[in-house]
Amino acid sequence: MSEIDPVRKSEELRSFLFLTVVMVPVLTVVLIAAYGFAVWFYQLLIGGPPH
């Protein structure tokens, strides 16, 4: 079991860093872009921003 623990800790640290450094910013940008696209498409269908 002692041989598995350092490898497992290394994998967990790598997974945590990947999630926090790569995936969270990418998902944030994708969600903001999707919201912007939805607003743009809604305004395209309705006829523009309200006056």
Total of domains in the chain: 1
Give 1-51 pLDDT, tens digit per residue. 556 688 888 899 999 999 999 999 999 999 999 999 999 999 899 987 666
* Owner of token pair 């743009």: 40
In a domain, 11, yes or no: yes
Give 17-29 pLDDT, tens digit per residue. 999 999 999 999 9
In a domain, 51, yes or no: no
In a domain, 15, yes or no: yes
**Domain span at 30:** 1-45
What is the pTM (predicted TM-score) of this model? 0.70
Burial of 1-38, coded b for 16+ CB within 10 Å and e otherwise, reads eeeeeeeeeeeeeeeeeeeeeeeeeeeeeeeeeeeeee
In a domain, 50, yes or no: no
The alpha helices in 19-51, defined as continuous H runs, are 24-46
In a domain, 3, yes or no: yes
In a domain, 32, yes or no: yes
Structure tokens at 5: 């623990």
